[in-house]
Structure 1
């Protein structure tokens, strides 16, 4: 037995409360080595009674590790526990706070989960789990009110540059509510709409003012109200890592230097301020117009928390997407969560984190992140075609092992965004490759995420090319692709196993990924053939209904046929 692989800690995601009654406990072991895994547990203050014993079941399988899990219940909510692990050779070991031991341990060294406290329970955002996100870059989506067009606005559809503007606005989004309903999206996330000199608005001048080129606070409220009436939630974008260089506090520092009462709002190296060769910390290494805010400063912290709370109440928005959130301290985000959830307990808090974000997703800060690791694995498997199905499954399982079940169901599974090249462009224009990635988005655990225009076949390279104007002419839209998205939205909404079901890999060879999504009421089998040739796949069922093709499937010799570059969503 590979004892080095045995691992458990008394912290998320290895132990946490499912609710006020149930504790979820996880143990890691070497891949394909363990025959039986059990947990021994009892009340931490029961020194004389016998331990209860529960079987642990495999819930994750990576190339290196298997993860076992059990749900345990003690009425007093205080836990003392250890593990028994048996391999296929009959070797039995025990695992407690001292590590791996050969004999059944004494109670003194058991793991302790002191108390299943209500305040430590994570409240999942159930409405978000069942959602479909649509991201909008407001200046490029739709121009609904030409009277607020900025000076020098370019004709719709012209070539984009770093600094040109096209007149998209909030009215333009309102005008397309029927489009959203027809497509089937349930959540709109807009990049920043607050006053700023740029087209992207990530260098905020005034956090309390909607940029006039988009509308005003009244128009923002109208947008939210009409979206809510249509069953669509609205997420705003908060840029709290940095402000614009024309934000009142930084302007004061530029004018008054060391005498400014706002100098500690930023990280200034020396004076006077030099915006040509910044002598202050900025977003990235070169964005002089984006000086980094000192969120450890109580005044800065309180100012930004009030901004977050203000728009939750003022416009009745349903949550925030948090820009560059991994560069802001955890204590700020804990305070932010407390303030926002107090204003709206069902608000959805999403971090922009382009890597794994476990330290931000422990239940005390964010509800979700933009799942860029999902994008990267889709790029490698479907677009670049440089990893195998086995490697893809390994990455999926490894990524999922980092988080609790609730958080995994809330991850925003994107394949592109305003900060990346379009996925179709990454696929060299091959729509078949993109459709397979989208099929995985809609059938894997997490929330499907559409970047505006993907659904009608828009392309674009790196920023700013990925921020082209939305194509609205019917003859220039890929209607077949639009209907593809529309159908997947319908399937996901009407098959809750795609939202709440467990994931179990069934096949991961020959560029074919197959898995099950299962609940007590539903059992779905998904097969994705990432080959330009027809393939046959062995299955463990004798009949089923293809939800996408809307017909009974044909099974011969326990095999189903997979057309080239195709997928199946089979209800059994």
Structure 2
């Protein structure tokens, strides 16, 4: 037995409260090393005749990546507290793994074991339940629709021209309102807007005033009408909060430029020396090395109060449903804890989403974010389906590792995107192969989490990195890929029709080394989804339990000797 690979740590993703009554306990071990694992568990205060009383439960192998197996048990401790350990069996020896190491015999005193001291209700991470049923649509407001030309900036270009990084096309709130039917037809029930507050650029990540709508988009009355119209259609609204940095023309920063060290706002920013130098040798910290985006000092009480009032204001006055937090990993954890408390106090089911491109467990412990933008999922899916750079095994290993990096209820509301204003258009990444994109959408919309579609991707828009990924929305149906639109529309409708398709427990199920196959299980419904991403036909033999199943995509019975052509898939459904 390879003892050095066996690992457990209480809390985080290895031991956590899934709800007010349930604990999930996980163990990591060398891939293929253990034949079975048994969980020893009991209340630390229940003893008889001088011996600790414990029970045992079999643990389930819930996933494997390239290095490790992951075992899990679900426990409902009757008294909300637990001591526990693991009996590890590799077929040659059986060892008990505890907080104090490995033992050949099962220790009889509970002090040897790992502890979950108490399942306190207030500590249970409870993300908004509505997010699990949401399909998001990201809108870059300047490029979605020009509904009120009177608001157009100077030198506005004609809709659809090739953009530069400084182009303006006149997109506004009226343009969004005018095209809500498109979103309803697609099946969207959540909109994520990139920044809408007053700023100099077309992207608005250089905020001038956090309490004002950018006049190129409209006014507060128009925005309120937009939110109301969306809510009438059961569409949630999430705004982009740029709290890591402000814009160069943010009034407090302008005050610092004007008054230097005597400015009352000097401690609002990270300034090394005066006077400020916006040249190559910056004397103040910024986002990246961008001199027009000075970094805010969120440890300063006045900055905290200002930004927390911003967070509260747009919920209180306009009833928005969530905040997406830009460059969230560069802001201190203390501020995000304050932020969560303020936001949840005014709207308990608000969705708090952080932009973090890497492992985000420190932000996902119930005291800061509900979720992060799941770029680890994004990169794995794109490398496999779009770029064809990885094997089925590598793809599956990477996603299992992602899933096991977080608690289950974190995964259930992870923000799964394929493209955004920061990346090349997904069809372009797919080398304009629509078949690859369709399989990507199938996987994205059936994977654990809440999916997001970048505006225009559903109709086959193309474009490289910024600014080409920010082209104007194509509203001429003759130039839209309507077949792709209807494909995505049907997948979204499956999420509404089949609870297992959208929210079922996910697990890969090996059938063929060239096929991607996985199960989705929820209640009495179980799905087996098989995807052929190759350029050849493959014969498929699936489990006998799925014999004569119905393919949800075609509503036809599927025989056990199934031939899947290139880029084909089946979604087999059975009821237990």
TM-score where L is the length of structure 2: 0.96
Q: Distance in 2 between matches of 1:474 and 1:480?
A: 11
Corresponding residue for residue 435 of structure 2: 432
Q: Distance in 2 between matches of 1:553 and 1:246?
A: 62
Give the SS at the match of 2:159.
coil
Corresponding residue for residue 187 of structure 2: 184
- In 1, are the aligned partners of 2:415 and 2:452 still within 8 Å (CA)? yes
| Greater Cα shift, 350-359 or 474-483 | 350-359
Tell me if 1:313 matches 2:311: no
Q: Distance in 1 between matches of 2:22 and 2:551?
A: 36
Note the residue ranges of structure 2 that are not aligned, 5 or more in a row.
none
- In 2, are the aligned partners of 1:389 and 1:508 still within 8 Å (CA)? no
Corresponding residue for residue 141 of structure 2: 138
Offset at 1:276?
3.0
- In 1, are the aligned partners of 2:511 and 2:542 still within 8 Å (CA)? no
Tell me if 1:218 matches 2:221: yes
Q: Distance in 2 between matches of 1:288 and 1:414?
A: 29
Of 95, 104, 107, the match for 1:102: 104
Corresponding residue for residue 518 of structure 1: 521
Of 185, 191, 196, the match for 1:193: 196
Q: Distance in 2 between matches of 1:246 and 1:214?
A: 19
- Superposition pairs of residues 278-293 of structure 1, within 5 angstroms: 278-285=282-289, 287-293=290-296
- In 1, are the aligned partners of 2:20 and 2:124 still within 8 Å (CA)? yes
Offset at 1:203?
0.3
Corresponding residue for residue 41 of structure 2: 41
Tell me if 1:549 matches 2:522: no
Offset at 1:508?
6.7
Note closer, same or farther for the CA distance 1:214–1:360 as it changes in structure 2 (3 Å cut): same
Note closer, same or farther for the CA distance 1:509–1:266 as it changes in structure 2 (3 Å cut): farther
Tell me if 1:570 matches 2:572: yes
Offset at 1:554?
3.1
- In 2, are the aligned partners of 1:361 and 1:368 still within 8 Å (CA)? yes
Give the SS at the match of 1:410.
coil
Offset at 1:12?
1.1
Offset at 1:45?
2.5
Q: Distance in 2 between matches of 1:511 and 1:49?
A: 50
Q: Distance in 2 between matches of 1:507 and 1:35?
A: 18
CA displacement, residues 448-501 of structure 1 (integer Å, 9 cap, x when unaligned): 210000000000101111000000001000000000110000011111112321
Tell me if 1:233 matches 2:219: no
Tell me if 1:482 matches 2:485: yes
CA displacement, residues 207-242 of structure 1 (integer Å, 9 cap, x when unaligned): 000001001111111111110100110000000000
Offset at 1:75?
2.7
Q: Which runs of 4+ in 1 moved over 4 A?
A: none
- In 2, are the aligned partners of 1:445 and 1:498 still within 8 Å (CA)? no
Offset at 1:41?
1.7
Corresponding residue for residue 497 of structure 1: 500
CA displacement, residues 18-42 of structure 1 (integer Å, 9 cap, x when unaligned): 2222222111112222222112222
Offset at 1:510?
4.2
Of 563, 566, 576, the match for 1:561: 563
Give the SS at the match of 1:303.
helix
| Greater Cα shift, 346-355 or 543-552 | 543-552
- Superposition pairs of residues 352-371 of structure 1, within 5 angstroms: 352-371=355-374
Corresponding residue for residue 152 of structure 2: 149
Q: Distance in 2 between matches of 1:240 and 1:367?
A: 17
Corresponding residue for residue 387 of structure 1: 390
| Greater Cα shift, 492-501 or 102-111 | 102-111
Of 60, 63, 68, the match for 1:65: 68
Offset at 1:7?
0.8
Tell me how large the CA RMSD over aligned residues is. 1.3
Corresponding residue for residue 9 of structure 2: 9
Q: Distance in 2 between matches of 1:23 and 1:432?
A: 41
- In 1, are the aligned partners of 2:44 and 2:110 still within 8 Å (CA)? no
- In 1, are the aligned partners of 2:327 and 2:355 still within 8 Å (CA)? yes
Note the residue ranges of structure 1 that are not aligned, 5 or more in a row.
none
- In 2, are the aligned partners of 1:388 and 1:509 still within 8 Å (CA)? no
Give the SS at the match of 1:242.
coil
Q: Distance in 2 between matches of 1:233 and 1:494?
A: 20
Offset at 1:140?
0.3
Q: How many residues align?
A: 567
- In 1, are the aligned partners of 2:340 and 2:367 still within 8 Å (CA)? yes
Corresponding residue for residue 175 of structure 1: 178
TM-score where L is the length of structure 1: 0.97
- In 2, are the aligned partners of 1:258 and 1:271 still within 8 Å (CA)? yes
- Superposition pairs of residues 400-439 of structure 1, within 5 angstroms: 400-439=403-442
Q: Distance in 1 between matches of 2:514 and 2:300?
A: 52
Give the SS at the match of 1:507.
coil
